[in-house]
Amino acid sequence: MNMHGIMSPIDLDGGQETTFYQRVWAWMKAKYMFMLIVVAPTVLLGGYLFLFASDQYESEAHFLVRSQNVSETVPGIGVSQALTMMTGASAAQNEAMSVSDYLTSHDVVATLRREDKLVERFDRPGIDLISRLRSDNPTPERLLKYYRKQVEVKYNTETGITTLKVHSFTPQDSYELARKLLDLGEKRVNTLNARSLHDSLAMSRRQLAEAEDALAQAELKVTQFRQRRGDIDPKASGEAQLGLVSTLTGQLAGARAQLDQMRGSIDPSSPQLAAIKARVRSLEAQVAAQSGRLTGGNRAIANDISSYQGLLLRQQFLAKRYEAAAASLDKARDQALRQQLYLVRVVNPNMPVKSQFPERWRILSTLLVALLLTYSIGWLIAAGVREHAA
The model's pLDDT over 361-379, given as tens digits with 9 standing for 90+, comes to: 998 999 999 999 988 898 8
Q: Do residue 330 and residue 366 come from a single domain?
A: no
Q: Are residues 302 and 221 in the same domain?
A: yes
List, in order, residues 6 or more apart from 133 with CB less than 8 Å away.
119, 122, 123, 143, 146
Task: Decide which of 287 and 30 is more confident.
Answer: 287
Establish if 237 belongs to a structural domain: yes
Whether residue 162 is found in the same domain as residue 197: yes
- Kindly state whether residue 353 falls inside one of the protein's structural domains: no
Is 69 or 262 the better-scoring residue by pLDDT?
Answer: 262
Q: What is the mean pLDDT of the chain?
A: 78
Query: Could you tell me if 176 and 269 lie in one domain?
Result: no
d(CA 193, CA 68): 12
Distance from CA of residue 15 to its chain's centroid? 84
Contacts of range 300-309, beta carbons closer than 8 Å, 24 or more positions apart? 301/234, 301/237, 301/238, 301/241, 302/238, 304/229, 304/231, 304/234, 304/237, 304/238, 305/234, 305/235, 305/238, 307/225, 307/234, 308/222, 308/225, 308/233, 308/234, 308/235, 309/235
pLDDT in tens, 328-348: 888 877 776 776 788 889 999
Q: Are residues 197 and 62 in the same domain?
A: yes
Is 368 or 203 the better-scoring residue by pLDDT? 368
Q: What is the mean pLDDT of residues 195-212?
A: 83
Of 73 and 237, the structure prediction assigns the larger pLDDT to 237
Same domain for 321 and 390, yes or no, is no
185 contact partners, CB below 8 Å, separation of at least 6: 63, 99, 102, 103, 343
In a domain, residue 91? The reply is yes
In terms of domains, do 244 and 104 share one?
no
If pLDDT is split at 50, 70 and 90, which confidence band does 71 have? very low
Q: What is the mean pLDDT of residues 55-66?
A: 92
Tell whether 265 and 390 lie within a shared domain: no
**Does residue 133 belong to any structural domain of this protein?**
yes
Percentage with pLDDT > 90 across the chain: 23
Q: Mean pLDDT lowest for which of 22-31, 180-189, 197-206, 378-387?
A: 22-31
Give the confidence band of 107 by pLDDT, cuts at 50, 70, 90. Answer: very high
- Report the pLDDT value the prediction gives residue 267, as an integer from 0 to 100: 67
Is 369 found in the same domain as 290?
A: no
Output the pLDDT for position 292: 58
Q: What is the mean pLDDT of residues 321-332?
A: 84
Q: The domain containing residue 367 runs over which residues?
A: 359-390
pLDDT reading at 5 higher than 50: no
How confident is the model over 284-300, as a mean pLDDT? 62
Alpha-carbon distance of 131 to 137, in angstroms, equals 16
Which residues have C-beta within 8 Å of that of residue 63, sequence separation ≥ 6?
Answer: 161, 162, 164, 182, 185, 343, 344, 345, 346, 347
Considering the domain architecture, whether residues 200 and 219 belong to the same structural domain is answered as no
Q: How many domains, in total, are found in the chain?
A: 3
Same domain, 90 and 194: yes
* Residue 168 pLDDT class (50, 70, 90 cuts): very high
In the chain, the percentage of residues whose pLDDT exceeds 70 is 73
The reply to whether 124 falls in a domain is yes
Query: Within this chain, do residues 232 and 155 fall inside the same structural domain, yes or no?
Result: no
